[in-house]
Each structure stands twice: as structure tokens, then as C-alpha cells.
Amino acid sequence: MIRTYVGLIIVLALAAVVISAVPGFSVPSELPYIGQNYAEQGVHDTGSINLVTAVVVAYRGLDTLGEVVVLFSASTAIVLILTLIPIGAHPTPPSSIVSFTAGVLPGAIVLFGIYIITHGHLSPGGGFPGGAVVASAFLLVMLGSNTIPGQSKMLASIESLAGLTFGLLGFWGMMTLGQFLNNLVLPAGSPGKVLSAGIIPLISLAIGAKVASELSGVFASYRKSGGAE
Amino acid sequence: MSLLAAASIGTGVMMLVAAVAALVVKKLISAIIIVGFVSLSASVLFLLMDAPDVAITEASIGAAISTVIFLWGRGKIGGEE
């Protein structure tokens, strides 16, 4: 009970802080220097219409590589813990609604995830959200059955291959243009086409495959960790 | 006040009410679903603030995947508050 009140006080205090900050909040009429540069030169520099992807994958590609490494070590640690300590839950038989949905929807969800991944440079999305959407389809498949997932070498291979692809694409830029992860080792093409924007689509594919396989691996190891009913 | 601002403030108030509700409801499963709703409202708020990239990520990870993980955790610890 006391925990409820402490939580209530924390939530209300945070709300008070946010509300007190609202009157002073305004959108600046001019972007700061580097933001202005990205906004004006982004499409020309990278060929990507979606400037968020241009910044995340092209301008700050090294940071994204670091993020992928963080995600990799986190998922490896989770899988290791779940393998050593069986703290997963027993799968319970799904209700008929869940099992029917799990039979119908996953294909469409995977297709939507692949769309988000491959159109990251044209519309909102990219590797991380697309990969999460694909992984949620596998999660739905797992929810729709009460069996234990088997060993999968393919998941680990896809994950390693995707990480390797990201690194090698970086080194490709280093070999040919003298800059790690230079976007323009492939032509920028005409902005708006799916096959444009240099290596952004390839990196998005690599990130998407990596995120999807990592999250699916975590779900599967959680299921396995629970053991049979 | 523009429609956009009104919608943003409405979503924010809804989030606040839901966050408080998640703390005071008795059943754990209701609290988990309400937390998922808070995430979904945050995703709508991001969309209203012209950040669709963040909104997609929040909707898929915050609203869908973490809710399911919480539900699995509830299945493990078994039930009530």
C-alpha cells in the first residue's frame, strides 16, 4: 500500500515538473548550425528523403553501429542469463482468439515490417522499428502455440551475418573513399526511388535483420527457459 | 488554441490519468494493460509532434513487445497484487 502512495507522489511530482515547463516551451524559429546544415544539405548529401534516417544511418552511422553493439551485448546477456537460470514462464495453452489471430496475422505483420525496413530512407521507419515489427510477428506465432521452440542455428547465423554486413559496409567506405561508413560508395541515385540513397537501404536491411533475429532469439530463449508444462 | 495543441494536451492528460490508474488498480493484469495504453498514448503524442519515426518505435516496442513481456512475467509470479 505504501508503495502505491510513493508511486503516486512520484507520478504527480513528475507531472508538476512537466506542466511547469510547458509555458517556457517554444519551437525555435531557426535550427542550430548543424541542424540547419542537415536540413538544407541532407537530401543532396545522402539522397535520403527521410532526414531522420539520413542523420541516423549516414551522418551518425558510427553511433548507430555502437547502438547495434549495445543491443547485441544486451540480448546476449539476456539469453545467457535465461540459459543459466530457468526463470521463464511455462507456456500456457492460448485461447482460441489468440491462436486464430496467430494463424492469420503474422504474414501480414512480417510484410509490413519488411516494408518499414526497406523504405526507411523514403518514409518514417528504418531498421530498428522494422526489425521490432518483424520480431513481434514471431512473438505472435509463439503466443499462438504452447510448444517449446527448438534449437535454431539459422537465427544466430542471420544475426552474425547482419552484424558482419554492417561492419564490412563501413570498411568498404574506408577502402574506396577513405572514410569509415561513407554513404556514397554506392551512387545516391534519384531521391524518392527505393534503390537510391547510397548504402542506406543495405544498412537498414542489416539492422532490421539483426534486431528481428535478436529479439526473436530473446523471446525463444525465454520460452525455452520455462521448460515443458 | 489550435486543434493540434488541444489534441496534444488531451492525450497528455489521458496519459497522466492512466499512469495514476496503473498505480491504484488492484489487479496486476489491469495495471499491465494500462501501462501499455500509456505507451500507446505516448506514441500518439510523438505522432502529433511530427516525429513519426519515434512513434513507430514506441508503438512496436513500448506498447506491444514490453506489454507482452510484462504479461509473461505476471504468468511467472502468478496473479494478484
Does the structure's ipTM exceed the value 0.90?
Answer: no
Distance CA A172, CA A16 (A): 51
Residue A38 lies in a domain: no
Per the prediction, chain A carries an average pLDDT of: 82
Confidence at residue B41, expressed as pLDDT on a 0 to 100 scale: 92
Q: Rounded to whole angstroms, how far apart are CA atoms A157 and A128?
A: 19
The C-alpha of A178 sits at a distance from chain B's nearest C-alpha, in angstroms, of: 31
> How far is CA A105 from its chain centroid?
20
Tell me how close the Cα of B55 comes to any Cα of chain A, in angstroms.
Answer: 9
**Residue A220 — pLDDT band, cuts 50, 70, 90?**
confident
Average pLDDT over residues A2-8: 81
Residues 6+ apart with CB under 8 A from A46: A54, A58, A59, A121, A183, A184, A188, A197, A198, A200
Specify if A23 maps to a domain.
Answer: no
Q: Do A126 and B72 touch (CB under 8 A)?
A: no
Q: Does A110 contact chain B (CB < 8 Å)?
A: no
- The answer to whether the Cα torsion of B15, B21, B27, B28 is positive or negative is positive
User: Higher confidence at residue A194 or residue A228?
Assistant: A194
Q: Give the per-residue pLDDT at A229.
A: 45
For chain A, what is the domain count? Answer: 1
On chain B, the residues whose CB falls within 8 A of the CB of A128 are 57
Task: Give the one of A124, A125, A139 whose C-beta lies nearest to B65's C-beta.
Answer: A139
Q: Which domain holds residue A186?
A: 50-226
More confident residue, A229 or A36: A36
CB A122 within 8 A of CB A195: no
Helix (H, G, I), strand (E, B) or coil at A60: coil
| Contact (CB<8Å) A139/B20 | no
* Chain B nearest CA to A4, separation (Å): 6
Per-residue pLDDT tens, chain B, 81 aa: give them.
Answer: 688 888 888 888 898 889 888 888 888 888 899 999 999 999 998 888 888 888 988 888 888 888 888 887 787 776 554
User: What is the spatial distance between Cα B3 and Cα B70, in angstroms, rounded to a whole number?
Assistant: 35
Mean pLDDT of A196-223: 85
In a domain, A86, yes or no: yes
Residue A11 lies inside a defined structural domain of this protein: no
Find out whether B11 and B48 touch, Cβ atoms under 8 Å: yes
Check if A143 contacts B (Cβ < 8 Å). Answer: yes
CB of A162 within 8 A of CB of A131? Answer: no
The answer to whether A215 contacts B65, with C-beta atoms less than 8 Å apart, is yes
Q: Does a structural domain hold residue A138?
A: yes
A133 neighbors B59 (Cβ within 8 angstroms): no
- Name the least confident of A86-100, A120-134, A199-213, B29-43: A86-100
Q: Is residue A43 part of a domain?
A: no
Nearest by CB to residue B16, choosing from A15, A116, A133, is A15
Residue identified by cell 517554444 is A26
Structure-block grid coordinates of residue A25: 516551451
DSSP state, A224? H
Euclidean distance between CA atoms A129 and A211, whole angstroms = 9
Q: How far apart are CA A195 and CA A197, in angstroms?
A: 7
This prediction has a pTM of: 0.81
Q: Are A57 and A203 in contact (CB under 8 A)?
A: yes
More confident residue, A195 or B68: B68
Q: Is residue A16 part of a domain?
A: no
Q: Which three cell numbers stand for residue B63?
A: 506498447
By the 8 A CB rule, do A28 and A15 touch?
no
Model pLDDT, residue B38: 92
Does A201 map to a domain?
yes
Residue A92 has pLDDT above 90, yes or no: no
Find the residue in B nearest to A11 (Cα).
Answer: B20
Separation in Å, CA of A129 to nearest CA in chain B: 5
